[in-house]
Chains A and B, each alone.
Chain A
Amino acid sequence: DIQMTQSPSSLSASVGDSVTITCQASQDINYYLNWYQQKPGKAPKVLIYDASNLETGVPLRFSGNGSGTDFTFIISSLQPEDIATYYCQQYDDLPITFGQGTRLDIK
């Protein structure tokens, strides 16, 4: 299985801050990586697909980049509604695997 390692596991930031989450794959996954947002009690929602493509309707403050084994997810100006847990997910090979998640809250 391809292991996905996210960091940090939790993060506290202020409204307006730029926030960066990293995801490292245990092997080269090209750009086959998605980012999801999960709010408490809700199902995950895709924000970024293929490492850097913004899903339709997702605010422009969210972005992603990277390829190979190292990926980055950025929120350029944190908003109160961004409080959630964020997951990376690879689809280069089965089984589909997720990072352990990064819990983001407001300082």
Chain B
Amino acid sequence: QVQLQESGPGLVKPSQTLSLTCTVSGGSINSGGYYWSWLRQLPGKGLEWIGYIYYYGSTYYNPSLRSLVTISIDTSKNQFSLQLNSMTAADTAVYYCARWKMSTHYFDYWGQGSLVTVSS
């Protein structure tokens, strides 16, 4: 059974960079056929796709966040990561990592979510 688990700080100061890591267990991140994704959910709001990465490093970002976001992958650790620069209070959200299955075109496994609060 594939499992994803987010880790990182729960509190970030304004203007700082958020760094989150997603550790994948129960399957290899470099097996192909999946995009490793980050999404977020602002308080009481809907879901926003941030971007995703393929195992060999190609990335796709939401244009609304492209200038602030970097997604990277470490296949040796079976992890992928999110960096979001210049955080503001508006970036306070639950951040999810998820797996996009290319053959069926949906997010089939998700992490439990990581609440990140931006506050001084």
On B, residues with C-beta under 8 Å from A are 45-49, 60, 62-64, 96, 98, 104-108, 110-113
Contacts and interface: CB of A to CB of B under 8 A. Distances in A.
Contacts of A50: 104-105
Question: For the complex, would chain A's binding face be called helix, strand, loop or mixed by DSSP majority?
Answer: loop
Given A43-B98, A99-B46, A32 B105 contact: yes
A95 B106 contact: no
A49 B47 contact: no
Interface string A38-68: 0000111110011000010000000000000
B46 A46 contact: no
Interface residues of A, number: 23
A44 B105 contact: no
Contact of A43 (B62, B63, B64, B113): B113
Nearest to A53: B104
Contacts of B60: 94
Nearest to B35: A96
Given A43-B112, A44-B110, A98 B48 contact: yes
